[in-house]
Structures are given as C-alpha cells and as structure tokens.
Structure 1
C-alpha cells in the first residue's frame, strides 16, 4: 500500500467559537466548514484540521462515531525558510511558546497550546524528508 499524505486530522474541543477564533484569527487558518453545536473545519496547506465537539461525534452513526479526550498533538510544517517568521508571529500574538526542540538531524520545532490545551507544534520544512 502507498499513501500520499494524511489528509485530515481531528481534534476534539469544548468550545467551537473559541476554537474558531484561535485557529482562524490567531493562526490564520481558513475556515472551510462551521456547523454550530457540531464542528469547525480548517484548511492547513493541502490538509484539513477537523475540530469536533466529542459528545456530538461520539453519538453519530454515519460517519462512524469517533472521539478522544486529553491532550492531543498535531504539528504544522512551516514553509521553507519561514520557521523564524512563524515563531515571531506566534510570540507577537501573546501565544506562549513553552518548548523548543532541535532534532537529531538538525531540524527545529517549537511547541505551544491551543485553548483546549492540545499540544501544537511547528516544524521546519523537510523535517521528515
């Protein structure tokens, strides 16, 4: 089997308006779907970030039920040469960057939380190449 990418990633959130404000206004992601009391979806490059209220997606029959609890993690890839620019932009928005990592092959990443406490990471382009 061969896949080209992970197309969607899900996070489970408590407040859709708060989630929308953070990802759209703070991080600049495009909202592609918003259904009150259900979900908000964002475009992130060629991928989609799906944010659901867990109690709603848990009760669905189609598509199959899904949900999660606790601190979930996703990583965004910075465009080539834009890592420092993104780091500065995040910090200028008073978002607490609480960890920096330099990986074995020299790629860097930094970590911050969203309003639900999910662990978000920005990685340099080429990190997994």
Structure 2
C-alpha cells in the first residue's frame, strides 16, 4: 500500500492504554513495583503514569464504556476486555536488574529471550493479566 505524501505521518505514540478492573492492584504494580511516576488517578475510572515522553493509561473497562460526565471533555466511550500488551524500554543491563527486582516481588517471568536482531526482551504479567514487556530500544531498528 502506497502512502500519500500529503498525509502527515505521526512522529511518536503519545499514549498507550491498558485495561484493568482492579485499579488499586494496577496502581501497586505500575507505581510501587515498576516505580512509574503517577500523574493522575480518578477514583475507580483510571490511573495514568508518565513513561519518558509518553503516558501509560490504565483504565477500568467497565467505567470507560460510559460517556464522560464532563461536557468540556467529550472523550468517546472505549474499553477492551482481556489482556493487552505494552512494551517499556530498558537497556540490557537494566533488564537484568528489573528481572531480579520483579522476582523479588514474586512476579514470575513469562518469557525472556534475544530477538534475531540481538535485542533482549523480558515479559511479565500485571495483576490484570496484561503482558508487560521490557525491551532494548533497538528492538524495532
């Protein structure tokens, strides 16, 4: 498929969303275990984290299926069921440190391997069953 040169090409992903019905468990995992900076929590609707220049959004799917109550922020209803996936960037040495840290928290490793291009990946599950990958930045180079 040929892309029209008249269409602007996005330069980055600004945010990624995962869904978890237990936001307290998600908050413990992403905030306490992974040490991500929380930037917003709205009761049982969502909790958001800064990840470098991007934001990881964790929504309660039952809450985001309803239209927002604030007419000034008409975000369309959305949601997903079942496990999703997010990949967070770490160096190879940082992946090794993260592996030990996760095991210290009794979080089992789902998979760990080197891709054909040499990039290392480590996979675990968050409390909602979402696949959380830690990979070297050259994975998609």
- Judge conservation of contact 2:95–2:122 (CA < 8 Å) in 1: no
Question: Following TM superposition, by how much is the alpha carbon of 1:2 offset from its aligned partner in structure 2, in angstroms?
Answer: 2.0
TM-score of the two chains, using structure 2 as the length reference? 0.84
Question: Following TM superposition, by how much is the alpha carbon of 1:88 offset from its aligned partner in structure 2, in angstroms?
Answer: 2.2
- Judge conservation of contact 1:80–1:125 (CA < 8 Å) in 2: no
Question: Following TM superposition, by how much is the alpha carbon of 1:119 offset from its aligned partner in structure 2, in angstroms?
Answer: 0.7
Long gaps (5+) in structure 1: none
Runs of 4+ in 1 over 4 A off after TM superposition: none
* Mapped partners of 1:91, 1:47: distance in 2: 26
The residue that corresponds to 2:5 in the other structure is none
Q: CA RMSD in A?
A: 1.5
TM-score of the two chains, using structure 1 as the length reference? 0.92
The residue that corresponds to 2:138 in the other structure is 126
Larger radius of gyration: 2
* Mapped partners of 1:105, 1:119: distance in 2: 22
